């Protein structure tokens, strides 16, 4: 019996090492490079890590367990589309090479739809085994007591030395109550997209104001000046906006302005808000100036249509997620660039996207 237990323990340790090793290989610091390059390689790395994490559910079993383990994986994407097809392909490849594990992807729509379905599943007593949800949902998941911390698995792989392989900022949204509850999966930041052809079209005007038409603005002052010159109007109609500040996730974009002013919206422990401080009000005044006084940015643009408008040449600059890069590359018929968000006191941008979580109260065999 002791030999059987020892063999089981060795099997568990091996599976744990495989799981953490695959996370190390498939995320790492290369994920941002892939994000900016675009293409399917990023998605292949993403799906491989989710499939790799399936190993964790085998840790309570001995190495000889033969029953097929079924893992339901909730993922924020529609049923149709290229990303769903990529995930299907990678999931099928994983399942074929691991006959005792069957990962079943459940495509839940956008982030909001996914969280609604996760919450409904948790409250019904049948939560998903793994899910990717938007990072701001961490405290909702904790309030539901629906996820497990990952610290003990990270510690077994070297603790801080293991975490140092990844961008520390991506773990800021995964930590609470002194523990790590999620792992960075598909992460993004807002960046500044700029239409190089429109900049050159207005090169003489930009140079007359001491601005370089060969680069994007680097400061708030330059952002305002570039946007004023690049805005094209015909009578009362705006043909081309100098800038688009998108709606929908505008709180996320606004957080970037606040960080550029050397401030933050809430304290690190989430217990105090700084909404009425001067350092936060200054970015709000800038936003209002751009949209309502100078009118170089539309007061409201839906999130999903913003990159379409930019790709159609309706704006010279755009604040948008790195996740919009494939759309711009595919649709834009002009040369464009991607740059840091302009600074005031400092450069700054928030992180976004989704973390994956492992859930409590799943079937014992999982």
DSSP letter string over 207-268? Answer: HHTT--TTS---BHHHHHHHHHHH-EEETTEEEEBS-B--SSSHHHHHHHHHHHTT--SB-T
Tell which wins on pLDDT, 265 or 51. Answer: 265
Q: What is the pTM of this model?
A: 0.78
The secondary structure element, H or E, covering residue 72 is strand 69-75
Taking CA atoms, 83 is separated from 107, 207, 324, in Å, by 10, 43, 14
The CATH number for 268's domain is 3.40.190.10
- Please, are residues 278 and 332 in contact by the beta-carbon 8 Å criterion? no
pLDDT at position 277, please?
96
- Please, are residues 134 and 115 in contact by the beta-carbon 8 Å criterion? yes
The secondary structure element, H or E, covering residue 355 is strand 352-358
pLDDT at position 13, please?
46
pLDDT at position 308, please?
93
Structure-token match 């995320």, residue found:
27
Question: 76-85, 86-95, 127-136, 261-270 — which is least confidently predicted?
Answer: 76-85
Q: What is the pairing mode between strands 175-176 and 179-180? A: antiparallel
Q: What is the rounded distance in angstroms from the CA atom of residue 142 to the CA atom of residue 174?
A: 11
Question: In which domain, by residue range, is 58 found?
Answer: 2-188+353-358
Residues 61 and 130 in one domain: yes
Count of Cβ atoms closer than 10 Å to residue 139 Cβ: 12
- Please, are residues 351 and 321 in contact by the beta-carbon 8 Å criterion? no
Task: Give Cα 358 distance to the centre of its chain.
Answer: 18
Domain assignment present for 364: no
Domain assignment present for 27: yes
Task: Give the count of domains, the chain.
Answer: 2
Per DSSP, the three-state class of 96 is helix
Task: Give Cα 270 distance to the centre of its chain.
Answer: 20
Residues 183 and 247 in one domain: no
Residues 27 and 175 in one domain: yes
Instruction: Kindly indicate the confidence band of residue 293, based on its pLDDT and cuts at 50, 70 and 90.
Output: very high
Taking CA atoms, 143 is separated from 119, 123, 178, in Å, by 11, 12, 15
Per DSSP, the three-state class of 346 is coil
**Mean of the per-residue pLDDT values of the chain:** 84
What dihedral angle (degrees, nearest 10) is formed by the CA atoms of 195, 197, 199, 203?
A: 180
Domain assignment present for 203: yes
pLDDT at position 49, please?
52
Percent of the chain, pLDDT > 70? 80
Residues 324 and 253 in one domain: yes
Residues 170 and 221 in one domain: no
Residues 146 and 39 in one domain: yes
Residues 200 and 299 in one domain: yes
């Amino acid at each position: 019996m002791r030999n059987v237990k020892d063999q089981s323990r060795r099997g568990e340790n091996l599976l744990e090492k495989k799981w953490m090793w695959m996370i190390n290989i498939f995320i790492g610091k290369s994920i941002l490079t892939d994000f900016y390059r675009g293409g399917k390689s990023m998605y292949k790395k993403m799906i491989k890590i989710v499939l790799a994490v399936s190993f964790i559910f085998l840790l309570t079993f001995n190495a000889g367990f033969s029953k097929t383990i079924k893992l339901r994986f909730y993922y924020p994407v529609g049923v149709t589309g290229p990303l769903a097809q990529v995930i299907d392909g990678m999931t099928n490849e994983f399942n074929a090479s691991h006959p005792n594990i069957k990962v079943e992807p459940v495509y839940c729509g956008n982030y909001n739809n996914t969280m609604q379905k996760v919450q409904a599943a948790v409250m019904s007593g049948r939560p998903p085994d793994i899910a990717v949800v938007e990072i701001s949902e961490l405290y909702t998941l904790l309030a539901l007591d629906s996820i497990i911390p990952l610290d003990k698995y990270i510690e077994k792989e070297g603790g801080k030395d293991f975490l140092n392989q990844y961008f520390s900022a991506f773990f800021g949204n995964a930590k609470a109550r002194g523990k790590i509850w999620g792992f960075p999966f598909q992460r993004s930041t807002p960046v500044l997209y700029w239409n190089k052809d429109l900049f050159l079209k207005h090169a003489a005007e930009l140079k007359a104001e001491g601005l370089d038409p060969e680069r994007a603005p680097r400061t708030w002052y330059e952002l305002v000046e570039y946007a004023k010159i690049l805005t094209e109007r015909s009578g009362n109609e705006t043909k081309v906006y100098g800038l688009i500040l998108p709606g929908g996730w505008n709180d996320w974009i606004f957080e970037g302005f606040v960080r550029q002013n050397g401030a933050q919206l809430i304290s690190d422990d989430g217990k105090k808000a700084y909404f009425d401080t001067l350092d936060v009000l200054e970015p709000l005044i800038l936003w209002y100036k751009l949209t309502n006084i100078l009118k170089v940015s539309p007061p409201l643009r839906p999130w999903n249509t913003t990159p379409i408008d930019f790709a159609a040449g309706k704006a010279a600059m755009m604040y948008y997620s790195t996740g919009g890069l494939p759309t711009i590359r595919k649709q834009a018929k002009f040369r464009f660039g991607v740059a840091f968000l302009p600074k005031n006191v400092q450069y700054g941008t928030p992180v976004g996207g989704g973390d994956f979580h492992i859930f409590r109260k799943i079937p014992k065999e999982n």
